């Protein structure tokens, strides 16, 4: 029993470490991922799926930090959730279907974006993303907040409901 517990603890540790502090690593590139990461969905179902952001589209749709480096000025008209991920990251792949579901559930109320940290290293650097998954929650007004690590769907919903969709009194 002790051996089994020890083995489980080692496996858990290795899994957690594999997605920490390795932004830009090519280890695990051999893992297949069926997720479309081309940056442009280009179909009528766009609003029902997360939108993949590049450096340029981030500046246009979220925050132009080149123009306003000292002040967060959100460019969108509805709050957004930004999932910083990598294809090789197992916890990121567990979060991916949750983000798909959130995009459908909050269609028109909250925009769900995804940023591949291997392709967009400068964006990962701007937000000091050191481990993934990392999720940025941005209200239409006010400061965004970052949540590191994978969470269950109900936790993401709670954060969205309590921090992004609250109405001013």
Domain 45-164 adopts which CATH fold?
Glutaredoxin (3.40.30)
pTM for this predicted structure: 0.73
Instruction: Quote the pLDDT of residue 17.
Output: 39
pLDDT digit string, tens, across residues 75-99 = 999 999 999 999 999 999 999 999 9
Q: Report the relative pairing of strands 51-52 and 111-116 from DSSP bridges.
A: parallel
The catalytically annotated residue of 19, 23, 81, 92 is: 92
* Residue 92 bears catalytic tag: yes
Q: Where are the domains of the chain?
A: 45-164
Q: 38-72, pLDDT tens digit by residue?
A: 444 444 555 689 999 999 999 999 999 999 888 99
CA 163 to chain centre: 16
Q: Which of 19, 81, 89, 150 is labelled catalytic?
A: 89
Q: How far apart are CA 37 and CA 32, in angstroms?
A: 12
């Amino acid at each position: 029993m002790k051996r089994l517990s020890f083995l489980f603890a080692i496996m858990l540790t290795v899994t957690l470490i594999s997605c920490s502090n390795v932004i830009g690593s090519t280890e695990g590139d051999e893992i297949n991922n069926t997720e479309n990461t081309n940056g442009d969905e280009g179909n009528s179902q766009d609003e029902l799926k997360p939108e993949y952001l590049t450096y340029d589209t981030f500046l246009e749709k979220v925050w132009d930090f080149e123009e306003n480096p000292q002040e967060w000025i959100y460019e969108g008209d509805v709050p957004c959730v930004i999932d910083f991920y990598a294809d090789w990251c197992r916890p990121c792949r567990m979060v991916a279907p949750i983000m798909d579901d959130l995009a459908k559930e909050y269609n028109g109320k909250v925009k769900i974006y995804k940023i591949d940290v291997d392709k967009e290293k400068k964006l990962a650097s701007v937000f000091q993303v050191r481990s993934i998954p990392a999720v940025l929650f941005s209200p239409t007004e006010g400061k965004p907040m970052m949540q590191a690590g994978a969470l269950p769907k109900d936790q993401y919903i709670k954060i969205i409901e309590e921090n992004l969709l609250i109405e001013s009194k």
